[in-house]
């Protein structure tokens, strides 16, 4: 039998998506074992907080670290291995999350009633030193510690390999940022949690990047203009293609002025954009290359309608998720947004948006103009029209008459009234082109009769799946 070389075997093993299969590979022979061990430790170790894994990691500490801990009266578990390990397990691992490091520290001090902070920090320090010196080809780091990671042995090599960096500014100081900027220059993604008090350190780090593509800001709440950070981000306007703003509640219009420099932005994701919308309302940025727009807990549809009008027809997905308490002004402006999408997003494939009972004319235009639409979700506010159910039949009739052939996923929520005849006519219109999914919620209908219609068309192959059948068992 022809023998596969190690590279081929590694590619095959890496496609196995369950630990059980990889465990079986450990038992075949030494070569298979070596390959399977590396993949198991890379993929699964840091998602598993079992004591046995923690003991092996503590066993990987070098003698100098173990001696330092002992000299400071830090007693490691008696279950850690004293003999040399078969593998350098840490070299297989991705860098651990702060939570994983904390879990090991907690395990060591679990049965000790009172532990001084400096002892916990010393153990944490030795664990971070171990990973920084031994982790190979690591591309991600979540920095949430006050320890000077950039000064640890092997730091220059470790930070040179990083592609994604998340920093919680409550823990990191300016000296570390300046040090990092010396050899961390190939980041594709930079995330900043909590607004940095020292802007210059982050300016230095941002300026050092040669191909910064994704930026995540927040959550943070801060007063001030933050002019230096704003200008640093603007200088990367040609390379940044994805921007995530999460609860960036900075009440200063000048902070957001860097957005006008993001001429190649393809994805904009915003969560809790209260101040962003209110401060920037009179200055709508232009994103000609924008493809994805995701907004959560928004307050103003009109702002995003105007933003979409300034794009160049490349949008593929628009998704809006309202807060639990619907904003009256936002819901009233739904027609303006749907109209903007219908007129400017002919390539759109996925849409999730709220709808008012007066917006059907715009939905019709949307279905007629957007011939590549695959999935649509229309949400009607329960709080507005609970006692005024909308005409669900009219909505279904529009889908039946005007849906593009590409549309195969329809989700409807809110208070709508559907007749049995409306259901029948809707599903008959899709006979021959089929629906992958049809989901509705908060609907007013005769559950059993409507569900029977849905099940009929599932059995006939017109519809594949629907959440409606689950109502039978509620």
Radius of gyration of the chain measured on its C-alpha atoms: 28
pLDDT higher than threshold 80 for residue 424:
yes
Look up residue 59 and give its two tokens: 């066993």
What whole-number distance in Å separates Cα of residue 368 and Cα of residue 403? 7
* Helix or strand run (H / E) with residue 33: helix 30-44
Per-residue burial over 429-448, b = 16 or more CB atoms within 10 Å of its CB, e = otherwise: bbeeeebeebebeebebeee
The token duo for 115 is: 């532990």
Q: What is the pLDDT of residue 456?
A: 93
Mean pLDDT highest for which of 322-336, 417-431, 441-455? 417-431
Task: Please state which of the ranges 179-188, 221-230, 380-389, 423-432 shows the lowest mean pLDDT.
Answer: 380-389
Distances (CA, A) of 5 to 1, 12, 42: 13, 11, 21
* 315-373 per-position pLDDT tens digit: 999 998 865 555 555 566 788 999 999 999 999 999 999 887 788 899 999 999 999 99
Banded pLDDT at 247 (limits 50, 70, 90)? confident
Q: Count CB-CB contacts under 10 A for residue 363.
A: 23
Give me the half-sphere count of Cα atoms (radius 13 Å) on the Cβ side of residue 106.
9
Position with higher pLDDT, 174 vs 241: 241
Mean pLDDT throughout 398-421? Answer: 91
- Whether 1 has a pLDDT exceeding 80, the answer reads no
Q: Which CATH architecture has domain 143-473?
A: Alpha-Beta Horseshoe (3.80)
Confidence at residue 474, expressed as pLDDT on a 0 to 100 scale: 42
Averaged pLDDT, 216-232 = 77
**Residue 361 · residue 394 · CB < 8 Å:** no
The whole-chain average pLDDT of the chain stands at: 83
- Please report the pLDDT score of residue 454 as a whole number: 92
Share of the chain above pLDDT 90, in %: 41
Q: Return the sign of the alpha-carbon dihedral for residues 217, 223, 227, 229.
A: negative
Residue 88 confidence (pLDDT):
81
Tell me what pLDDT residue 358 has.
81
Distance (Å) of CA 18 to CA 53, 92, 154, 184: 18, 18, 33, 34
User: pLDDT per residue over 37-71, tens digit each?
Assistant: 777 767 666 665 566 678 888 888 988 998 998 89
Annotated domain spans of the chain:
1-47, 50-138, 143-473
Range with lowest mean pLDDT among 40-44, 83-87, 292-296? 40-44
The reported pLDDT for the residue numbered 389 is 58
Helix and strand totals (H; E) in the chain: 21, 17
Question: How confident is the model at residue 282, as a pLDDT?
Answer: 55
Percentage of the chain lying above the pLDDT 70 cut? 79
The pLDDT assigned to 354 comes to: 87
Q: What does the pLDDT average to over 427-442?
A: 89
Q: Which residue has the higher pLDDT, 283 or 408?
A: 408
């Amino acid at each position: 039998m022809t023998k596969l070389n190690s590279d081929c075997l590694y590619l095959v093993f890496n496609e196995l998506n369950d630990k059980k299969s990889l465990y079986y590979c450990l038992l075949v022979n030494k070569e298979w074992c070596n390959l399977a061990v590396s993949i198991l430790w890379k993929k699964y170790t840091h998602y598993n907080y079992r004591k046995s894994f923690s003991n092996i990691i503590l066993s990987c500490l070098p003698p100098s670290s173990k001696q330092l801990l002992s000299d400071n009266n830090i007693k490691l578990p008696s279950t850690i291995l004293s003999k040399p390990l078969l593998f350098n397990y840490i070299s297989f691992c991705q860098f651990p999350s702060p939570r994983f490091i904390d879990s090991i520290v907690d395990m060591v001090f679990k049965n000790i009633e009172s532990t001084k902070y400096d002892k916990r920090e010393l153990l944490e320090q030795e664990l971070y030193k171990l990973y920084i010196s031994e982790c190979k080809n690591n591309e991600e780091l979540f920095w949430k510690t006050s320890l000077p990671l950039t000064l640890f042995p092997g730091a220059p090599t470790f930070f040179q390999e990083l592609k994604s960096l998340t920093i919680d500014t409550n823990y990191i100081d300016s000296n570390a940022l300046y040090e990092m900027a010396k050899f961390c220059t190939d980041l594709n993604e930079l995330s900043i949690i909590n607004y940095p008090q020292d802007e210059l350190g982050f300016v230095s780090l941002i300026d050092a990047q040669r191909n910064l593509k994704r930026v995540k800001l927040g959550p943070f709440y801060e007063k001030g203009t933050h002019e230096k950070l704003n200008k640093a981000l603007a200088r990367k306007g040609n390379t940044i293609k994805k921007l995530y703003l999460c609860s960036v509640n900075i009440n200063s219009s000048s902070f957001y002025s860097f957005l006008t420099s993001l001429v190649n932005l393809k994805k904009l994701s915003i969560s809790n954009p209260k101040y962003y919308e209110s401060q920037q309302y009179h200055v709508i940025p232009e994103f000609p290359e924008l493809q994805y727009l995701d907004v959560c807990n928004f307050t103003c549809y009109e702002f995003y309608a105007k933003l979409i009008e300034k794009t160049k027809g490349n949008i593929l997905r628009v998704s809006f998720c309202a807060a639990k308490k619907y904003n009256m002004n936002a819901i009233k402006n739904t027609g303006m947004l749907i109209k903007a999408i219908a007129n400017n997003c002919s390539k759109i494939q996925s849409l999730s948006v709220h709808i008012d009972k007066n917006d059907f004319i715009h939905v019709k235009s949307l279905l007629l103009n957007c011939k590549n639409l695959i999935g649509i979700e229309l949400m009607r506010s329960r709080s507005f029209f609970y006692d005024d159910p909308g005409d669900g039949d009219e909505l279904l009739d529009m889908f039946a008459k005007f849906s593009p052939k590409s549309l195969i996923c329809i989700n409807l929520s809110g208070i709508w009234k559907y007749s049995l005849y409306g259901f029948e006519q809707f599903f008959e219109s899709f006979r021959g082109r089929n629906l992958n999914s049809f989901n509705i919620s908060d609907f007013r209908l005769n559950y059993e009769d409507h569900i029977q219609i849905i099940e009929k068309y599932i059995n006939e192959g017109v519809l594949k799946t629907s959440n409606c059948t689950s109502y039978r068992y509620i």
